[in-house]
Amino acid sequence: MSTSRSSTILPLDHLALRGEEDAAALVLRGETLSYKDLRSRISRLAAWLAAQVLEKGARVATWAAKGELTCLMPLAAARAGLVHVPVNSLLKRAQVAHILADSGTRLLIGSPARLQTLEDGDAAEAVLVGESEALEQAAAFGGDLAPSKADPNELAAILYTSGSTGRPKGVMLSHANMWLGAESVASYLGLTNDDVTLAVLPLSFDYGQNQLLSTWYAGGSVVPLDYLTPRDVVKSVERNGVTTLAAVPPLWVQLAELEWPPETAAKLRRMTNSGGALTEDLVRRLRGQFPQARLFAMYGLTEAFRSTFLDPALIDSHPTSMGKEIPHAEILVIGDDGEVTADGEEGELVHCGPLVAQGYWQDAERTAERYKPAPAASRYGGMAVWSGDRVKRDAEGLLYFVGRRDAMIKSAGNRISPQEVEEAALATGLVAEAVALGVKDARLGQVVHLVVRPAPGSSGFKEELPRKLMQDLPNFMQPKVIHWRDAMPIGPNGKIDRAGLAQELQQAEAA
């Protein structure tokens, strides 16, 4: 059971009211905003937004690099009674056009270079404003907007998924969803008002946006960074005295391959991971490189924000565990019979409680597939997110990821976990990253294709990897083809683009 304390849930914009007035809240290029500055600029931006879009609950979108606009908008839109739609700055015209049309966005604020890529009809219902122009107009507007008195259950944001399994779908988040998510993470990470968070993840990503919200809940400081290379992250940690760094596995792999000056590495107090599992080897490398930092392995899904975290004290002894439920979440493992599974028995992870989002925007069919009544065993009841992820719980209550039901490779009647093949490849020490995929086969249904990036400094890997896999995996799990890459493709959310790889391999086989 969660150890969460009772919470007073407030409208999202009240997060800006928590820090000390003179304390640093947001470190921008060439300017640092105190909490007093943050409150003033949110108030003026909110007043300007409310004058531009008169309809309460209307959607306003941002499409720009990290900066003042993208950091202030989650709170300013909430104060103005509008619904924020953050668009990933890496998305291209066609994806953005879909998001604008699907959400019914009325105002799109973005960098001019991005706005100029849109074609006639892409933003038919939206007024387009450049980000610098919007900030200048808000500063000169002269009005202020008092803190919101909205019902915390009202819609505050729509976060669009990356669209790896089809067109992006919008997850509806209330003020309460986001407030409790900020409180939960600040609580179990132990964030305080002297913490400095380096925000490297996209702010359109629930995990990325929470970098802002949980830090401001604790009264700390945020440094937004759009990095070009992993070395930019090292430089920013040094320059800004960063204590907290959140990343996804591909970035952690790259950061672990760099030489960190000991005094720079020592600045980090905590490192957090989500968006994919850490491997045992990567855990060992991170722990060796940052021995003073607490390493938090976490699991989440946009439909319910964050679900579990592993106590850093257990990361060395249980490096592959997802841990236990976070505060404000209830996590159940449900078998095919609808009952809670026994220890060691595989089942579906079901997330219950107040972090569960309100469903998919204007998509009742897909909402009904993922959002269903909570199991009878739930202490919360109501609607729950049925994740589709297969997990196991051990006797200590720790959870372990098995695989996604729809990602299992089915070959000659065998169900193969991609993760198991990937872990075997990584365990050889010959590869730094691995992705196992099922490719259609006329005789077997599917066969395993393994895409890998060699580990730095390894030699003879092309001959040695197949030999080691033959020793470690049964015949039916052996890759039919191993594809070697100098770099893995990365999607807009910072994770390896598995869907893009799968499509590429299928097309190559069909050619």
Domain membership flag for residue 390:
no
Residue with tokens 């500055």: 37
pLDDT at 10 over 70: yes
Query: 294 near 269, Cβ under 8 Å?
Result: yes
Report the share of the chain in percent with pLDDT over 70: 97
pLDDT at 4 over 80: no
Q: What is the mean pLDDT of residues 107-114?
A: 97
Lowest-pLDDT choice from 245-259, 387-401, 486-500: 486-500
Residue with tokens 């803190």: 147
122, 150, 178 — which closes off a domain? Answer: 150
pTM listed for this prediction: 0.85
pLDDT at residue 158, rounded to an integer: 98
Quote the domain boundaries for residue 469.
409-510
Distances, alpha carbon 111 to alpha carbons 63, 85, 120, in Å:
7, 15, 18
H-state helical runs in 385-458:
418-427
Query: 74 near 213, Cβ under 8 Å?
Result: yes
Residue with tokens 């997850």: 171
CATH number reported for the structural domain that contains residue 37 in this entry: 3.40.50.980
Q: What is the mean pLDDT of residues 98-117?
A: 96
Amino acid, single-letter form, for residue 80: A
Distant-in-sequence contacts of 160-164, Cβ < 8 A, 24+ apart: 160/85, 160/87, 160/88, 160/99, 160/102, 160/103, 160/204, 161/302, 162/88, 162/491, 162/492, 162/493, 163/95, 164/491, 164/497, 164/498, 164/499, 164/500
Residue with tokens 């080691």: 468
Query: 306 near 374, Cβ under 8 Å?
Result: no
Residue, of 95 and 232, whose pLDDT is higher: 232
pLDDT at residue 146, rounded to an integer: 95
Domain membership flag for residue 144:
yes
- Residue 341 CA to residue 330 CA, distance in Å, equals 15
User: Crossing angle, helix 131-140 and helix 68-79, to 10 degrees?
Assistant: 50
Domain membership flag for residue 445:
yes
Residue, of 262 and 494, whose pLDDT is higher: 262
Q: What is the mean pLDDT of residues 326-337?
A: 97
Confidence of residue 6 (pLDDT cuts 50, 70, 90): very low
Confidence of residue 63 (pLDDT cuts 50, 70, 90): very high
What is the domain count for the chain? 2
pLDDT at residue 494, rounded to an integer: 85
Residue with tokens 């000056």: 261
Tokens standing for residue 109: 């604020």
Cα 135–Cα 137–Cα 141 angle in degrees, nearest 5: 120
CATH number reported for the structural domain that contains residue 504 in this entry: 3.30.300.30
Average pLDDT, the chain: 93
- Residue 426 CA to residue 329 CA, distance in Å, equals 32
Q: What is the mean pLDDT of residues 47-53?
A: 97
pLDDT at 2 over 50: no
pLDDT at 64 over 80: yes
pLDDT at residue 142, rounded to an integer: 82
Distant-in-sequence contacts of 131-134, Cβ < 8 A, 24+ apart: 131/62, 131/64, 131/67, 131/69, 134/45, 134/48, 134/69, 134/109
pLDDT at 3 over 50: no
- Residue 449 CA to residue 447 CA, distance in Å, equals 7
Confidence of residue 416 (pLDDT cuts 50, 70, 90): confident
What is the chain's alpha carbon radius of gyration, rounded to the nearest angstrom? 23
Q: Which residues contact 448 (CB under 8 A, 6 or more apart)?
A: 409, 411, 416, 421, 436, 437, 438, 439, 477, 478, 479, 480
Domain membership flag for residue 66:
yes
Domain membership flag for residue 101:
yes
Confidence of residue 166 (pLDDT cuts 50, 70, 90): low
DSSP lists the bridge partners of residue 24 as 34
100, 128, 150 — which closes off a domain? Answer: 150
- Residue 97 CA to residue 189 CA, distance in Å, equals 37
Amino acid, single-letter form, for residue 193: N
123, 150, 177 — which closes off a domain? Answer: 150
The continuous run of DSSP H or E covering 77 comes out as: helix 68-79
Domain membership flag for residue 402:
no
Domain membership flag for residue 396:
no
Domain membership flag for residue 452:
yes
DSSP lists the bridge partners of residue 424 as none
pLDDT at residue 5, rounded to an integer: 41
**What is the DSSP annotation of 268-295?**
--EEEE-SSPPPHHHHHHHHHH-TTSEE
pLDDT at residue 163, rounded to an integer: 46
For the chain, the first-to-last Cα distance in angstroms comes to 53
pLDDT at 164 over 60: no
Confidence of residue 413 (pLDDT cuts 50, 70, 90): low
